[in-house]
Amino acid sequence: MATPCYFHVDMDAFYASIEQIDNPQLKDKPVIVGGTSTRGVVSACSYEARTYGVHSAMPIFQARKLCPEGLFLPVRMSRYLEMSRFIMEILRDFSPSIQQISIDEGFLDMTGTELLLGDPQSAATNLKQKVREKTGLTISIGIGSSKFIAKMASAHCKPDGLLQILSGQEILFLDMCEIREIWGIGKKASESLANKGISTVKQLRTFKRDALCRFFGSSAGNYYYNACRGIAPGVFSGTPKSRSISNETTLKTDEEDGNILRQILFDLCHQVYFRTLTEGIMGKTAFIKIKYADFSSVSSQKTFDQPLLSAEQLFSSIWDLFSFRWSKKPVRLVGVGIGSIVNRDTPMQSELFETTYERKHDLEKVIQSMQASGIHLIKASTLKYQIDKKAKKK
């Protein structure tokens, strides 16, 4: 039986890198994507900006203080989604089993592909080269016997890296990592562990499961016990029984600012909805996942009589669900999705389309159609005006 082999493919500084590719004058400069005013949060930034301490989910006003020379750009979600879809198609040339977990990262099950594609390092090298040739972008690839190990490996070789953790060497790799580098633990959790005298991964592994659960609670205790042994903690489950489209993001620091969380959810909703447009589907169910700093998690969903008609309608539903379920505790991960999938040509009650959401629906279809034809949308405001004006004449 073939040894399990997974790639975790992570696109380097994705939004900012696309801006630098589209505008070569931005190359090697501190690019910060998120907005041109002092409001909002950083969606992404180039590695040049990160040297100033800027990171995603940071308030824009704070990023401006840290990096006054930064080049602040608005989010062009449709462009990033266009490039994401293109790269995912490249990935499908290497594996029929792909799990996209966000706009800029995904897993490939490479088990049993050696006869066709060569050993994992050769296949990964070829994949990196093909993405660079086709897009001009760099990706980092982690290789491991589980998705958990593969994701940690990619984090350790960014940017533009390739790192394979051989089967049987998982513990050795984990013991070389700082405890805060273990995926899902982070700075605050490592401080909590340090308060109990646990400062290394090797020390953490000496504790029994029940002791960790007693110290840190059931959710965190079980996570720590599995993670320090390289046992996949169940964070990257496969395709659900009922088909859905979802994206999630793990925050660099635990967040309790409602305005920042709202912006993150807004971005995720647009990523998810434009993916449904690309696949020619719609969904009747909006669902949300929240994981707190203590590793406890909650989820919620709402199913409508008719499919959601726009990214704005999805966000409105998601924000209602989030506001109802969020306990005001610091959040470490959020995810949103659309379920109860139907084809986009499914008949619906016509009177439901005489709404603001219909106009949003039309606009998003036009944007997606233009992107699919290779046309980059530059004057979105003009296009929106024309569509709104046409809708008012109905």
What sections of 54-109 are H helices per DSSP? 60-66, 77-92
**CA pair distance 19, 31, nearest whole angstrom:** 8
**CA pair distance 273, 270, nearest whole angstrom:** 5
In 3-state terms, what secondary structure has residue 146?
Answer: coil
Catalytic residue IDs: 105
Q: Which one, of 81, 89, 165, 198, lies nearest residue 134 by Cα? A: 89
| Cα–Cα distances in angstroms (integers) from residue 11 to residues 74, 193, 209, 357, 393, in the given order | 19, 31, 35, 33, 44
Whose tokens are 């709402």? That residue is 302
Structure token digits, residue 282 = 């719609």
Instruction: Report the alpha-carbon angle 77-82-87, nearest 5.
Output: 125
| Cα–Cα distances in angstroms (integers) from residue 238 to residues 14, 109, 124, 173, 248, in the given order | 24, 11, 22, 25, 14
Spatial strand order of the sheet with 331-343 comes to 245-255, 331-343, 281-292, 297-303
Q: Which one, of 231, 229, 223, 227, lies nearest residue 172 by Cα? A: 229
Length of the chain: 394
